[in-house]
Amino acid sequence: MKTLVTGGAGFIGSHLTDALIERGDEVTILDNLSTGKLENLESALTGGAVLIEGDITDRAFVEATLEKVRPQTVFHLAAQGEVQRSITEPAFDATVNVVGTINVIEASKAVGIDRFVFASTGGAIYGEGSNLELPASEEITPEPLCQYGLSKFAGEQYLALYRRMYMFNSVSLRFGNVYGPRQSPKGEAGAVAIFGELLMAGQNPTVFGDGTQTRDFVYIDDLIEAILTASRTDVEGQINLGSGEETSILDLLAALHEAGLSLNGSGPPEGTEFNPAFDRGRPGEVKRIAINPGRAARELGWNPTTPLEDGLARTLEAMGTRSGGITHA
Ligand SMILES: NC(=O)c1ccc[n+]([C@@H]2O[C@H](COP(=O)([O-])OP(=O)(O)OC[C@H]3O[C@@H](n4cnc5c(N)ncnc54)[C@H](O)[C@@H]3O)[C@@H](O)[C@H]2O)c1
C-alpha cells in the first residue's frame, strides 16, 4: 500500500510512519520541518520512507507531490497546532489549517485516493457550550474557544462537504491530549513533554491557572493503533480518540513525579520535589475536557489500554535515554 503522511516528521506523524513501515507500506512524508525533526525519522528513513520537504500552503507543491506519489491513503497531520499562536496569529493558523488542508484534500481528490484520514482535535473543538456534558460525545455541536479549534472544525466540515459533493472517502479523528516519546517540550501544548523534561532535570514546573483544569490524556501507541484501524475501515465523520477520563494538571504532576520515582536510578535527580508554581491562566484554554471514546469502541473496536502511570513511565524513560543521563549532572 502506498501512503502519504503530511506532518510525518512530527511527534504523532513519525510514530505513525514507523507503524506504516512496519506493516509493509511504501511511505512518503510531506513536511516543512517547522516543528518536526529529522531525528524523529531515523528509523523510518532507514526503513525506506521518503521525505519530501515542503509546505502544505504551497498548492502547486502539494499537487505535484500527490501527482508524483499517487498514494492510496493520505494521513493529513501537518498543522499549526498551538492554541496560543492561533489566538495571536489567527490568519496564519487559518492559512495552514484551513487553506493548507484544502490544498491536501483537493490534490488527493485529483489523483483519486481511496481514503483520507484527518487529524482533528477533541481537546479544543468542543469548547464549553451549555450543551456540553463530559465526556463529550461526537454529537455535541462544537463551540471552540480558540481559533485552532475552529480551524480544525473547518477541516472536518470541508471533508463532510467533499463527501456530499464527490463521495470523497474520509474520517476525522478527534485526538485527546496525546503524549509519549518524541513529543517536543518546546511547544506549548505537550503538558507531559514540558513537565516531564523539567522533572528529569530536577526543576519545578509552572502551572497556568490553579491546576484543577482537566485534560484527556491518551498514550501514543494506543492512538496509533486507532489511526491505523480507522484508515482500514470506511467509517466516516468524526471519531473521538481519548480515554474518556478527566485528569487534572495537579494529578498529572503527581503521577509524573510518581512515575519518575519508579524509574529508580534512571529517573529524576535524587531529592527532586517537583512543587508547582502558579501563573495566570491562558486565554482559549477550556477549564475541563474529556472525550467519549464510545464510537471508536463500537465502530473501530478500539479501547485505549495503556494506563496513565505506565505511559508516563515509558515517556520519562525515553527522555532519560535521549539525554544520555546528562540531566542528572
Ligand atoms: N499532540 C496532540 O496532543 C494533538 C491533539 C489533537 C490534535 N493533534 C493534531 O495532530 C497532528 C500532529 O500533531 P503533533 O503533536 O504530532 O504535532 P507536531 O508539531 O509534532 O507535528 C506537526 C508536523 O507538521 C509539520 N508542519 C507544520 N506546518 C506545516 C506546513 N505548513 N507544511 C508542512 N508541514 C507542516 C511540522 O513540521 C511537524 O512535523 C496535528 O494536526 C495536530 O493538530 C495533536
248: β partners: 214
> Is there a cis peptide before residue 135, judged by omega within 30 degrees of 0?
yes
Q: Please state the pTM of the whole predicted model.
A: 0.97
pLDDT in tens, 247-261: 999 999 999 999 999
153-212 confidence digits (pLDDT tens): 999 999 999 999 999 999 999 999 999 999 999 887 799 999 999 999 999 999 999 999
Q: What is the number of H-type helices and E-type strands within the chain? A: 12, 13
Residue 9 CA, closest ligand 1 atom number: 39
* pLDDT at 322 (0 to 100): 61
Which residue's CA lies nearest to atom 20 of ligand 1?
A: 10
Q: Distance (Å, rounded) from C-alpha 10 to C-alpha 16?
A: 10
Calculate helix-pair angle for 220-232, 11-22, nearest 10 degrees: 60
Q: Give the ligand 1 atom nearest the CA of 57.
A: 31
Q: Is the CB of residue 101 below 6 angstroms from any atom belonging to ligand 1? A: no
Please tell me the residue having the least CA distance from ligand 1 atom 2: 178
Quick check: CB of 177 below 6 Å from ligand 1? yes
pLDDT of residue 129: 87
In CATH, what is the architecture of 2-178+217-241? Answer: 3-Layer(aba) Sandwich (3.40)
Q: Does domain 181-215+247-328 have CATH number 3.60.21.10?
A: no
Q: Cβ(81) to ligand 1 under 6 A?
A: yes
Protein residue whose Cα sits closest to atom 42 of ligand 1: 81
Helices (H), the chain: 11-22, 42-46, 59-69, 83-88, 90-94, 100-110, 147-166, 191-200, 220-232, 249-262, 294-300, 308-323
Instruction: Calculate the average pLDDT of the chain.
Output: 95
Nearest to 41 by CA among 53, 23, 29, 32: 29
- Residue ranges of the domains in the chain? 2-178+217-241, 181-215+247-328
For residue 10, the CA-to-ligand 1 centroid distance in Å is 6
CA distance 268 to 124: 31
Asked whether 56 lines ligand 1 (CB < 6 A), one says yes
Active site residues: 148
Q: Is the CB of 10 under 6 A from ligand 1?
A: yes
Q: Which of 178, 157, 160 lies closest to 169 in space, CA to CA?
A: 160
Q: Whose CA is nearest to atom 43 of ligand 1?
A: 81
Question: Percent of the chain beyond pLDDT 90?
Answer: 94
pLDDT digits (tens, 9 = 90+) for 38-47: 999 999 999 9
Tell me if 2-178+217-241 shares its fold with 181-215+247-328.
no
